[in-house]
Amino acid sequence: MRQTLSRLFPCAVAGLFLSVTNLLLCGSLTAQQALTPYSYSSPKKALVTHGAVVSAHPLASQVGVSILQQGGNAFDAAIATQLALAVVYPVAGNIGGGGFMVAHLAKNAATQSKSAAADPNSREIALDFREKAPASATRDMYLDAAGNPVAGLSENGHLASGIPGTIAGIFAELKYAKLPFAKLIQPAIDLAENGFVITAEEARNLNSAQGAFKNFNTVQPVFVKAVDWKKGDTLVQKDLAKTLRLIRNNGAKGFYEGETARLILEEMRRGKGIITAADLQGYHAVVRNPAVFSYKNYSIVTMPLPSSGGVVLQQMLKMVEDQPLAADGFESVKTIHLMTEVERLAYADRAQYLGDRDFYAVPVDTLVSPAYIHSRLAQIPARAGKSRDIKAGVLSPASEETTHLDVIDAKGNAVSITTTLNGGFGNKVVVGGAGFFLNNEMDDFSIKPGVPNMYGAVGTEANSIVPGKRMLSSMSPTIVLDKGKVYLVVGTPGGTTITTSVFQTLVDILDFGLSTDDAVNLPKFHHQWLPDVIYVEPGLSIAVQDSLKVMGYTVAQRGSIGRTEVIKVLPDQHIEAVADSRGDDAAVGY
């Protein structure tokens, strides 16, 4: 019903910002519209002409669009949105975490900064600001004397944190931006200083983590409350505002050195963490060559290692490229069988072979070669395949807290950023006096071969802990080009489900011809080799689920999978931006 309504009345169902001057456009922010931190809702769709931002929070999307309207480009808007998310979406928005950016520089864009790209002639950019293992991290640091994992040690508390990369990433993004940094960070400072009202979902998130906040913090943060948080409460973050001002005034040194670094180190001392001043000062974001490959008539641009996305997404898409998906039907038994087996094969390789290429020789070229893809495809059985029979962790939807944002500007520059603290509120530790959460990204390493992490993913030596190494990720910010121009900007949070959700969203649009709204909002499914289960969202046809079970699959219904954000450039050059209905996500444009 919701999908039908949204097809007929996309703007009305989106519910906000209906332009009275142009009834064809929706989700548009007027030039003079001020930020509305005390009264806002979540427009799910923008159909606009100049630029758009989709993110997990309406205030962050509004901030991004207001920067576009002030003459900023997609990079300016992405930076401002990222910083705003660190304030208004503390469950995953962050300055204490890390992430990846994939971007496309429009031809002749005045903003082009070729010198920063790994390939200076490329207009496709991949930026890696993933966290790194501290210098004194060791391979077995999460194991007890008997060699068994200590429950929760890589997930909560000070030891779980990798060296944060987000602020280094933001200053690397700034090379492609136009506006002064002070302008980009000011909305975040104001939101932290003056506060904003929280949504029902944010209240739920904060309430569910109260016990962990009390357990793992050495200084009680503003997020701890004597009575339950509720929708409409105002969240003021003075310490975070102070930290953001230090970054505004001192650049990346305002985070990695000086007062903020001192507070991080004090926090580490109080909580027996291992991040040092040298770890902070030595952190750098890295510009990498993006993974670029063809799918039918399109170019897919996505994140290379240490994201598994570049290899896994390429393997999955290449395995289905010549299959008659459209004829088999959207989410039919035949389609889900094929896509599940493809996911199983790709995730088995992920577990075995993938890790930080700066530290481990990953056979990327072989894994994505046509001969290898062909040989893997030949292994798909007619009925349900079987993954290796080992005990693996159960996926935990509550922990899949990462966040994604898409931006496009009037010149055709596009930015796709996925950033994360890993679990919801990261390691649950707020740096005393500095007001931001630290990540628990160390859990994305393989802490022991075959032992599942919080997403149930297993790994080997390729993803073992080594000082300075980046932990393997699933984050797959992606851009699809059609004849060199941006067609789609896509991404999602969701731990190991990220890559399969991007895979599904792409084939939904490129093969099945689904509308953007349906590709974003219809039920998704996920298989990751281990555990050997197809996870499905509520709403996926029960008859199809029953048929899959008859074929030998274990099918388990779970909570929502990801929160996919998509920007699509329509043939008439209108920009269609769609935010996922699974959360407070908002699409805004002008």
HEC states along 210-252?
Answer: HHHHHHHCCCCCCCCCCCCCCCCCEECCHHHHHHHHHHHHHCC
Confirm if 52 and 587 have CB atoms less than 8 A apart: yes
The one-letter amino acid code at 59 reads L
Say whether 243 is catalytic. Answer: no
Confirm if 42 and 58 have CB atoms less than 8 A apart: yes
Residue 446 touches ligand GLY, criterion: CB under 6 A: no
User: Which of residues 260 and 422 has its CB atom nearest to ligand GLY in the complex?
Assistant: 422
CA distances from 565 to 65, 331, 554 (A): 16, 20, 29
- Residues paired with residue 535 on neighbouring β-strands, in sequence order: 526, 556
Residue 27 touches ligand GLY, criterion: CB under 6 A: no
Helix (H, G, I), strand (E, B) or coil at 584: coil
Give min distance, CB of 176 to ligand GLY, in A: 23
Which residue, 380, 370, 303, 398, is CA-closest to 341? 380
User: Which of residues 82 and 420 has its CB atom nearest to ligand GLY in the complex?
Assistant: 420
Considering only residues 164, 495, 583, 589, which one is a binding residue for ligand GLY as defined by CB under 6 A?
495
User: Which of residues 55 and 492 has its CB atom nearest to ligand GLY in the complex?
Assistant: 492
Please tell me the distance from the alpha carbon of residue 409 to that of residue 382, in angstroms, as a whole number. Answer: 46
Considering only residues 475, 502, 544, 569, which one is a binding residue for ligand GLY as defined by CB under 6 A?
475
Phi, psi of 587 (to 5 degrees): -110, 120
Residue 473 touches ligand GLY, criterion: CB under 6 A: yes
Which residue, 529, 516, 583, 510, is CA-closest to 376? 529
User: CA 246, 420, 437, 88 torsion: positive or negative?
Assistant: positive
Residue 474 touches ligand GLY, criterion: CB under 6 A: yes
Please tell me the distance from the alpha carbon of residue 422 to that of residue 440, in angstroms, as a whole number. Answer: 6
**What is the residue-wise DSSP string for 106-160?**
PTT-TT--GGGSSSTT-SEEEEEE--B--TT--TTTTB-TTSPBPTTTTTSSGGG
User: Which of residues 267 and 444 has its CB atom nearest to ligand GLY in the complex?
Assistant: 444
Residue 128 touches ligand GLY, criterion: CB under 6 A: no
Give min distance, CB of 347 to ligand GLY, in A: 13
Which stretch in 157-165, 244-252, 387-395, 472-480 sits in contact with ligand GLY by CB under 6 A? 472-480
Which stretch in 10-18, 51-59, 373-381, 469-477 sits in contact with ligand GLY by CB under 6 A? 469-477
User: Which of residues 292 and 457 has its CB atom nearest to ligand GLY in the complex?
Assistant: 457
Which stretch in 24-32, 138-146, 295-303, 471-479 sits in contact with ligand GLY by CB under 6 A? 471-479
Edge-first strand listing for the sheet containing 45-48 = 45-48, 575-578, 565-569, 485-491, 478-482, 298-302, 291-295
Give min distance, CB of 97 to ligand GLY, in A: 8
Confirm if 421 and 401 have CB atoms less than 8 A apart: yes
Residue 420 touches ligand GLY, criterion: CB under 6 A: yes
Contact string 286-325 vs ligand GLY (x = CB under 6 A): ----------------------------------------
- Residues paired with residue 482 on neighbouring β-strands, in sequence order: 298, 485
Considering only residues 156, 237, 422, 515, which one is a binding residue for ligand GLY as defined by CB under 6 A?
422
Residue 476 touches ligand GLY, criterion: CB under 6 A: no
Give min distance, CB of 456 to ligand GLY, in A: 12
Contact string 369-408 vs ligand GLY (x = CB under 6 A): ---------------------------------x------
Catalytic residue among 111, 243, 335, 402, which?
Answer: 402
Residue 166 touches ligand GLY, criterion: CB under 6 A: no
Site for ligand GLY, rule CB under 6 A: 402, 420, 422, 441, 444, 473-475, 495
Which sequence positions are flagged as catalytic?
402
